[in-house]
């Protein structure tokens, strides 16, 4: 009873942890295991080194002996320095002198975040195994400030998720195990930008009020919405021998139907627009994509194991992002706002190795290529300026006793510049934005495991 109470308190604590996340490829977060990070997640659905296998492949719980709790944290330090080469205001249609948008340039929109993971597995040894995972599988955070040149496209973008994932597994034969789980997933989204209030007031009054493109006349618009939704995951592991196995896993798409509020700040200099930009309810849908993985684990000898993983993510389901404004007259006379994403499915390939240096110390290393789902510069936005990512990672695990072990991992992600080419024709309110982000990501992770 005491153990169950303590475990429940730990799970509750994970839910209450503040989660500020940096974007991964797309906005999925693969950082769900510290031991896995050490191999660039080549361990995937097959290695089952610890209870974090609950997330990657529930069938792997049959390879964990007894009961185990794993708690980990990943500090993700991204850099997304946006250099704008040109930005044109829609005010150019009124007068060419209104073409230029003033503001800060070379702004780093990357936000450092902490991603926690918590897992529990109970394998009583009768063929069945049970587990629970609490983690954050999707998220992003970018913030460029209210005074940068691209403020009419984006200021802050913040997506947080909490995934509660109970799972069960059964060892069908000596070689084959199957697993399944359900996910209760919470999402909280904040999207903000500035609106060119000076231009709107100038156009509405025939030039009597308002200075176009002026930060002092800009209207701040912040959309906040959240939702709970549900999905499932499946997995299987087949052992060719005691030291060689293959794992496959699948996670379903989760459709989030968000509801919330749009809050605005209208400067007194353009108070004439207060009615058109009133606070109101907002809603929208977002598809969090399905994914699948195939992983291989092979022990070359009693010291060295080699790993490989191929993962697919159904990002083509993220085709448009629409916000529906539910106030009278909508927001600024618009009932909705739609961003065409047209993302494509993406693939991730990774290779890794685990070396058992001695009875206590285990060393890990890995590389990976993570493909961006963003098709081209025309569909890349400051909110998610992602590009292909090449991972290089190292890690170590140390067994302090029969019950307690710890893991450490570090990864650096090499990311090419992400070009952005938002045309004036497709952004009639925000204007054009042409430039690129200089990207990189560093990840430092620690994990503690307890067996009982």
pLDDT of the residue at 19: 40
Tokens read off for 427: 């952004």
Tokens read off for 379: 């569909």
pTM given for the model: 0.91
How many other C-beta atoms lie within 10 A of the C-beta of residue 152? Answer: 24
Domain ranges of the chain: 2-451
CA distance 408 to 424: 47
DSSP-based three-state secondary structure for 344: coil
Alpha helices in 129-258, H assignment, sequence order: 197-204
> Residue 203 has what DSSP assignment?
H
CA distance 372 to 348: 9
CA distance 328 to 418: 38
pLDDT of the residue at 15: 39
pLDDT of the residue at 21: 39
CA distance 133 to 290: 18
Pick the CATH number of 2-451 from 3.30.70.1140, 2.40.160.60, 3.40.50.1820, 2.40.30.10: 2.40.160.60
pLDDT of the residue at 4: 38
Enumerate long-range contacts of 100-103, CB under 8 Å, 24 or more apart. Answer: 100/213, 101/149, 101/152, 101/213, 101/431, 102/149, 102/213, 102/214, 102/215, 103/147, 103/148, 103/149, 103/150, 103/151, 103/215
pLDDT of the residue at 24: 52
Tokens read off for 377: 């510069």
High-pLDDT (> 90) share of the chain, %: 87
Report, as ranges of residue numbers, the positions in the chain whose pLDDT lies below 50: 1-23
By CB neighbour count within 10 A (0-12 exposed, 13-18 middle, 19+ buried), where does 342 fall?
A: middle
| Residue among 254, 353, 371, 366 nearest 312 (CA) | 371
By CB neighbour count within 10 A (0-12 exposed, 13-18 middle, 19+ buried), where does 327 fall?
A: middle
DSSP-based three-state secondary structure for 410: strand
């Amino acid at each position: 009873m005491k153990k169950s109470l303590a475990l429940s308190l730990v799970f509750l604590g994970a839910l209450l942890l503040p989660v500020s996340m940096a974007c991964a490829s797309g906005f999925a977060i693969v950082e769900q295991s510290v031991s896995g990070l050490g191999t660039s997640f080549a361990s995937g659905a097959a290695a089952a080194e610890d209870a974090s296998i609950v997330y990657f492949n529930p069938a792997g719980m049959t390879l964990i002996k007894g009961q185990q709790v794993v708690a980990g944290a990943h500090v993700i330090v991204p850099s997304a320095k946006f250099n704008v080469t040109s930005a044109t205001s829609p005010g150019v249609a009124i007068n060419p002198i209104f073409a230029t948008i003033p503001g800060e340039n070379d702004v780093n929109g990357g936000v450092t975040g902490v991603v926690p993971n918590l897992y529990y597995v109970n394998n009583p040894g009768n063929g069945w195994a049970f587990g629970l995972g609490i983690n954050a599988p999707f998220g992003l955070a970018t913030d460029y400030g209210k005074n940068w040149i691209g403020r009419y496209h984006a200021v802050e973008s913040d997506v947080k998720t909490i995934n509660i994932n109970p799972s069960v597994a059964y060892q069908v034969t000596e070689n084959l195990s199957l697993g399944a789980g359900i996910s209760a997933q919470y999402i909280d989204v904040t999207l903000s930008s500035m609106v060119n209030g000076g231009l709107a007031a100038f156009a509405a009054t025939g030039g009597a009020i308002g200075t176009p493109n002026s930060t002092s006349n800009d209207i701040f618009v912040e959309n906040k919405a959240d939702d709970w939704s549900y999905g499932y995951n499946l997995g299987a592991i087949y052992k060719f021998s005691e030291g060689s196995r293959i794992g496959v896993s699948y996670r379903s798409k989760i459709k989030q139907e968000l509801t919330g509020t749009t809050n605005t700040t209208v400067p007194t200099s353009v108070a004439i627009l207060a009615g058109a930009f009133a606070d109101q309810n907002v809603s929208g849908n977002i598809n969090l994509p399905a994914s699948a993985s195939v992983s291989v684990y092979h022990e070359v000898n009693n010291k060295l194991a080699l790993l490989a993983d191929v993962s697919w993510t159904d990002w083509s389901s993220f085709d448009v992002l629409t916000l529906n404004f539910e106030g009278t007259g909508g927001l600024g006379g618009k009932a909705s706002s739609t961003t065409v994403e047209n993302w494509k499915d993406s693939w991730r390939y990774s290779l890794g190795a685990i070396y058992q240096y001695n009875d206590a110390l285990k060393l890990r290393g890995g590389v990976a290529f993570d493909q961006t789902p963003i098709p081209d510069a025309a569909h890349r936005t400051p909110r998610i300026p992602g590009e292909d990512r090449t991972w290089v990672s190292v890690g170590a695990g140390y067994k302090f006793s029969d019950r307690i072990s710890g893991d450490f991992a570090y990864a650096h992600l090499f990311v090419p510049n992400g070009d952005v080419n938002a045309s004036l024709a497709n952004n009639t309110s925000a204007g054009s934005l042409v430039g690129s982000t200089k990207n990189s990501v560093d990840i430092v992770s620690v994990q503690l495991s307890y067996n009982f």
